[in-house]
Structure 1
């Protein structure tokens, strides 16, 4: 069976009006038949954040929503997660601190179970803000903004590995994070950089396509055909140099072939000129 979708949300998604992104996740996870799990492990207030999302999905009509409140490493090592996740159709990773999230889940029984059911195609996965940042194998753990791109501008760590060839940054244009994503991609040119704005979602489909949902943009940074890199040294504050990077700016309805790194014909845009 093919894998289900992965939804990478830039944070601050609409929770009041049309709830387009949260509705998209719920529908992809089964709609009225969905059985959802909320993992608020990235948050400093997991009980409150978990309850907020639980109520949101219940108000949409979801009949089965659980908060998987993992606060200690020992909890994520419980082997019973394998059977527990087997009943679920969707998992939502909330915002907070992506380094905390990765530390709690890395190489754990919970992460192993998540990967198992993802590979079986029975589990739709979504992450917002910190939950989105942790999706790749290489994860942006922190960094600055408003400077020229340089290696010290971005702090990298190991992520959860659901999107191994992708580096995600979130709250993207809203927090002026273009330079730090460029810095990360130059240090890991084999990866595709994906910067996602607030209230915007990059939906990674099972067939390898990316589709944009929401009101902002998704920036793709592709170094696959770059002709020159300046050999950046870790922690250096010297500006980087990179030639022939490819950059794509995608909005609602735009699509991108992740495997072949090319833009696809868009869906009909729902905004006027």
Structure 2
């Protein structure tokens, strides 16, 4: 069975009006038959944030919604997660601090269970803000903005590995994070940089293509055919030099082949996802 879709949300998704992104996740996870788990582990107020998303998805008409309130490392080490997640059709990782999220989940039975059911094709996964940032093996844990790209501008750490070939940044244009994504990709040129705006979602399909949903844009930064890099020294503030990087800016309905690294014809702009 093919693995399920993964939704990478730039944060601040609409929770009041059209709820386009949340409805997209809800539909992908089964609609009225959806059985969802909310993991607010990244948040400093997990009970409040978990409750907000629980009510939102209950109002959409989910069959069941549970908050998986993991606050201590020992909780993610519970060997029974494979059984607990067996009947769930969707998992939503909330915002907060991606380093906290990765510390709580990395190399744990909970993370192993999420990978197992996602790869089996029975679990749709979504992450917003910090939950989006943690999707790759290489994770932007923090950094500055408003400067030229340089290695010290971005702090890298290990992520959750759901999308191993990408580095995700979120609240992207809204918080002027272009330079830090450039810095991260130059240090890891084998990865695609994915910068996702607020109220915008990059839907990674099992087929290997990405599709954009929401009101903003997704920037894709590809260093795979770059002809030159300066040698970036860790923690250096010397500006980065890199030639022949490829940049794509995608909006709602645009598609991208992640495996072949090429833009695909867009779907109809108003076609439901």
* TM-score, structure 1 normalization: 0.98
- In the TM superposition, residue 267 of structure 1 has moved relative to its aligned partner by 1.1
Q: Deviations over 1:186-230 (max 9, x none)?
A: 000000000000000000001000000000000000000000000
Q: Deviations over 1:114-169 (max 9, x none)?
A: 01111111000000000000000000000000000000000000000000000000
Report the RMSD for the aligned CA atoms in angstroms: 0.5
3-state secondary structure, aligned to 2:233: coil
Alignment of 1:27-106 (within 5 A): 27-106=27-106
Instruction: Work out the CA distance in 2 between the residues paired with 1:17 and 1:115.
Output: 32
Instruction: Work out the CA distance in 1 between the residues paired with 2:94 and 2:13.
Output: 11
Alignment of 1:161-176 (within 5 A): 161-176=161-176
- In the TM superposition, residue 17 of structure 1 has moved relative to its aligned partner by 0.2
Instruction: Work out the CA distance in 2 between the residues paired with 1:218 and 1:63.
Output: 32
Instruction: Work out the CA distance in 1 between the residues paired with 2:177 and 2:39.
Output: 26
3-state secondary structure, aligned to 2:164: coil
- In the TM superposition, residue 177 of structure 1 has moved relative to its aligned partner by 0.2
Alignment of 1:220-239 (within 5 A): 220-239=220-239
* TM-score, structure 2 normalization: 0.98
- Runs of 4 or more above 3 Å deviation: none
- In the TM superposition, residue 106 of structure 1 has moved relative to its aligned partner by 0.2
Instruction: Work out the CA distance in 1 between the residues paired with 2:209 and 2:8.
Output: 13
Unaligned regions of 5+ residues in structure 2, if any?
Answer: none
- Tell me what 2:7 maps to: 7
3-state secondary structure, aligned to 1:267: coil
Alignment of 1:242-253 (within 5 A): 242-253=242-253
Unaligned regions of 5+ residues in structure 1, if any?
Answer: none
How many aligned positions are there? Answer: 270
Instruction: Work out the CA distance in 2 between the residues paired with 1:21 and 1:117.
Output: 22
Instruction: Work out the CA distance in 2 between the residues paired with 1:102 and 1:114.
Output: 13
Instruction: Work out the CA distance in 1 between the residues paired with 2:67 and 2:95.
Output: 14
Instruction: Work out the CA distance in 2 between the residues paired with 1:91 and 1:79.
Output: 18
